[in-house]
Amino acid sequence: MARKYDLRTLAVLASEAGAVPLIVIGLASSSFVIPGCRWIPVVIGVYTVVSIILTIALTPLTDRWFAVLSFGGMLGIVGCAYSITDAGSAHAILVLLAAIPALAAMESPPRVVGSFVVVAGLLASSVVIVRATSTTALMVAGGAAWMAIVVPTFLVLTLRKSLTRLVDEHQRLSATDPLTGALNRRGLLSDFEVTCGAVAAGATRVGFLVADIDLFKRVNDEHGHSAGDAILVEITQILKRASPDQALIARTGGEEFLIVTPIDDEMTLAQLGERIRHDIAGETDVTVSVGGACAELAVAQEGVPTGQVLDTLFGSADECLYRAKQLGRNRIETKMIDGIRWRPTLAAHPSTAPDLGLSRNLWGSWSYDRPRETPADTGRPPITSGHREHSGFVLLDPVADATLVAEHLARGYELIDSWQYAGPELQQLDALQSCGPEPSPPVLDVTDPDVLTRHSRLAVYPWRGTVVRVPDSSTFYRLRTARNRFLLTGAEQTAWSTATVAVAGLSSGTAAMAACALTGARHFHLADPDKLAVTNLNRMSGSICDITQTKIDLAVRQLLESDPYTRITAFPFGYRPGTADSFLGIDDQPVAVVIDEIDDVAMKIDLRQRARAAGIPVISTTDIGANLVLDVERFDLDRTYPLFHGRAEDFDAGDPTDPAQRLRMAAQIVGDVLTPRMAYSASQIGRSISSWPQLGATAMMAGSFAATAARMIVCGQPIASGRYHLEFDHILLGASARGTDGWNELTEEEMIAVVSSIAGPGSANPRTS
């Protein structure tokens, strides 16, 4: 089976193995070695064989072992040069000395490389001095030896420096917004770690401002996107001038900016926000609303990671931003929040930082590094930066990333090889008859270790402490969807696997997401702001051990554990106007379909308004007791189709936190499908139950129902806009399904009256509409 080596170790092994036949050939000649010196090449040959064994055993070589073996190799080369009778051959052998500094230049620090160059040059000079027959020969042979050593080493160092510069530039570009030059979502989380360290060390507070341009869409509509882009660039410059030198300036949404800085107190933060608001209003044709929050930080082993600190601050600042918008825009609102106990990462605070497991980027996307994936493997350009390798999921190449894999295993990660099951399954599939218009996939010889290595990736799951060897993307997908064949055509499976499914709300939406993934969906946008609570366990596949984990984290883990090649863009603050266009893909590539399971009725309407304008179909389910309602709104076919089939066109959002309003809207949308038990339960919201009544089994069926409709839409099947009922109580109970139960304190007429009074005048009668 192929071993895993880094490039430097492979080069050392190749040079060692290449020296053996040369030594054997030299010893075979009776006149090649000076009489009485044959023991020198014999000793060198034995040392070379021992070096090969050590290199294989110690791979990958550490700097120390590389230095030891390399220095021994240089002595061996010089020894051979001393013992050869022919001076020309001796000088030729000295050229081999150049290989060792060049190998060092591939990965070693410059001072180590310089040391190898000096030692190699001095050793070469000693041979030249002994063997030279004249001053001219000494100067020519010595100069040639030094040039042969210095030039290749310099070229390797230059190439390494150029590659490093290119990588650094790529990382810089991946961390900044290309239009404004401000930090993007990736760059902010990285630099925020440094800000937290400065705040924790200086006993100050961390301040967080969210600035959102008021009515920015009007600028684009009236003056064009170029004018809007110019305003974004101008505002970025104003923010940089108005903010402290140490402040982080980031653009995290279409018209949303963040300013993060150490700050003394809330008053100073408010003054900074007011200065920003004033300067933008005075120097541009737009205004901004600003929300701010600040908090003290204390380093603690049991504290929260950096990403969660950022989440907390952003959530509070965002609340203030919405309050500023509601109070008339072009104003600032701030608040002081409780102190935060912060757990730094190893890079920021090595004395206190544990391994963090899975964390996330902010306000937009997790970008899971797949540094060795190719476009042919995944159908998309490779992602070479983004989520931190030390804390998140990553796919590794078994050969090129052997060092990283070894590091994970050395830390105690368990290695699982899925090929023990995938191999026999793949052989079984390859033995079946080809049928249908799709071309047969290439047959893989799963008995050949080299073939398996080429068609494998290693998925690292930090939250499980596990490394799993999995088939490459196309092979894995073929195995995972093998039982879909003929139930879905090849074209349908391709369309479904390449479409992006957006799921908003992961309490009930997790079931829909999972059902989509089980049938082969691989691209997701996920939005939910909440953490898992005990009451969520009635409808989410979760564990009591996961309490306090965000639903986003749990959903991402579930997807990546079922298919490590899944592409996920996560919105950990849920669906909201500030990132709505990114969630729907309007600012890049629109998503194929949206599954809406949001609780906030105002956001449900906002989502549909934006989706309708962009021509994106929306699916939502309502589980009512044991029954289901599926709403399909084909805005991709009709951009004038009324929201919720006309039930929500006149909805006044008002205060989305008002429970009565939420229930009124829910009753208006659900309308005529409430069963007696559901009507009674709904009437108890705020009385004996705290939120919308829900059964877990029905939520799971609702998810499957929504996923099926989403797949049919993506695959071009003619699903029409409308409301679809799945009434299990009628299917299973018949006419008795509408009977009242003795435990109800209200008669059926009283229940209808209660729900109607909550819904308000003009609402649909639950029984007769």
Q: Letter for the amino acid at 380?
A: R
Handedness of CA 75, 77, 83, 88 (dihedral sign): negative
C-alpha span between 12 and 52 (Å, rounded)? 9
What was the pLDDT predicted at 445? 82
| One domain, residues 568 and 536 | yes
What was the pLDDT predicted at 618? 96
Boundary-marking domain end, from 172, 202, 235:
172
Q: What percent of the chain has pLDDT over 70?
A: 74
C-alpha span between 259 and 281 (Å, rounded)? 17
pLDDT band of 574, cuts 50, 70, 90:
confident
Boundary-marking domain end, from 110, 138, 172:
172
Give the closest residue to 27 by CA, choosing from 66, 67, 84, 74: 84
pLDDT band of 368, cuts 50, 70, 90:
very low
CA dihedral of 467, 468, 472, 474, whole degrees rounded to 10: -130
Asked if residue 363 belongs to a domain, the reply is no
Coil/strand/helix, residue 152: helix
C-alpha span between 381 and 472 (Å, rounded)? 16
What was the pLDDT predicted at 435? 67
Asked if residue 364 belongs to a domain, the reply is no
Contact by Cβ (8 Å): 570, 552: yes
Q: pLDDT of 252-288, one tens digit each?
A: 777 889 999 888 888 888 889 999 999 998 898 899 9
Residue 760 has pLDDT above 60, yes or no: no
| One domain, residues 574 and 686 | yes
Q: pLDDT of 58-83, one tens digit each?
A: 777 776 777 777 777 777 777 777 67
- CATH code of 288's domain: 3.30.70.270
Asked if residue 358 belongs to a domain, the reply is no
What was the pLDDT predicted at 669? 64
| One domain, residues 323 and 386 | no
Asked if residue 348 belongs to a domain, the reply is no
Q: Hey, which of 292-306, 312-326, 747-761 has the most confident mean pLDDT?
A: 312-326
| One domain, residues 147 and 226 | no
Residue 31 has pLDDT above 70, yes or no: no
Within 10 angstroms of residue 613's Cβ, the number of other Cβ atoms is 12
Q: Which residue has the higher pLDDT, 544 or 87?
A: 544
Contact by Cβ (8 Å): 358, 553: yes
In this prediction, residues 737-750 reach a mean pLDDT of: 56
Handedness of CA 572, 574, 575, 577 (dihedral sign): negative
Q: pLDDT of 398-435, one tens digit each?
A: 888 888 888 888 888 899 999 888 888 888 888 776 66
Q: What percent of the chain has pLDDT over 90?
A: 17
* Cα distance between the two ends of the chain: 71
pLDDT band of 11, cuts 50, 70, 90:
low
What was the pLDDT predicted at 686? 61
What was the pLDDT predicted at 594? 96
Handedness of CA 637, 641, 579, 543 (dihedral sign): negative
What was the pLDDT predicted at 171? 61
pLDDT band of 719, cuts 50, 70, 90:
very high
| One domain, residues 408 and 281 | no
Q: pLDDT of 505-525, one tens digit each?
A: 888 888 999 999 999 999 999
Residue 762 has pLDDT above 60, yes or no: no
| One domain, residues 307 and 208 | yes
Coil/strand/helix, residue 561: helix
Asked if residue 353 belongs to a domain, the reply is no
Give the closest residue to 728 by CA, choosing from 623, 619, 595: 623
Within 10 angstroms of residue 582's Cβ, the number of other Cβ atoms is 22
| One domain, residues 148 and 221 | no
- Reply yes or no: is the peptide bond before residue 60 cis, omega within 30 of 0: yes
| One domain, residues 458 and 512 | no
| One domain, residues 753 and 710 | yes
What was the pLDDT predicted at 373? 33
Asked if residue 764 belongs to a domain, the reply is no
Q: How many domains does the chain have?
A: 4
Helix (H) or strand (E) holding 596: strand 593-596
| One domain, residues 56 and 113 | yes
| One domain, residues 663 and 525 | yes
| One domain, residues 300 and 196 | yes
Domain extent for 212:
185-342
What was the pLDDT predicted at 691? 64
**Among 433-447, 541-555, 566-580, the least confident range:** 433-447
Q: What is the average pLDDT value for the chain, to the nearest integer?
A: 76
Asked if residue 767 belongs to a domain, the reply is no
Q: Provide CB contacts within 8 A for 519, sequence distance 6+.
A: 481, 484, 488, 496, 707, 711
pLDDT band of 482, cuts 50, 70, 90:
confident
CA distances from 505 to 555, 691, 693 (A): 11, 15, 16
Structure tokens at 11: 């080069």
C-alpha span between 511 and 523 (Å, rounded)? 16
- CATH code of 503's domain: 3.40.50.720
Residue 768 has pLDDT above 50, yes or no: no
What was the pLDDT predicted at 687? 66
Q: Hey, which of 212-216, 382-386, 425-429, 686-690 has the most confident mean pLDDT?
A: 212-216
Place of tokens 């009489």: 35
What was the pLDDT predicted at 673? 61
pLDDT band of 388, cuts 50, 70, 90:
very low
Contact by Cβ (8 Å): 329, 296: no
What was the pLDDT predicted at 526? 93
Residue 469 has pLDDT above 90, yes or no: yes
Boundary-marking domain end, from 449, 480, 511:
480
C-alpha span between 192 and 185 (Å, rounded)? 11
Tell me the helix, strand and coil percentages in the chain, rounded to 5. 55, 15, 35
Give the closest residue to 49 by CA, choosing from 21, 79, 71, 90: 21
Q: pLDDT of 695-715, one tens digit each?
A: 778 788 888 889 999 999 999
What was the pLDDT predicted at 287? 92
pLDDT band of 6, cuts 50, 70, 90:
low
Q: Which residue has the higher pLDDT, 499 or 127?
A: 499
In this prediction, residues 235-258 reach a mean pLDDT of: 87
What was the pLDDT predicted at 180? 85
Asked if residue 485 belongs to a domain, the reply is no
pLDDT band of 367, cuts 50, 70, 90:
very low
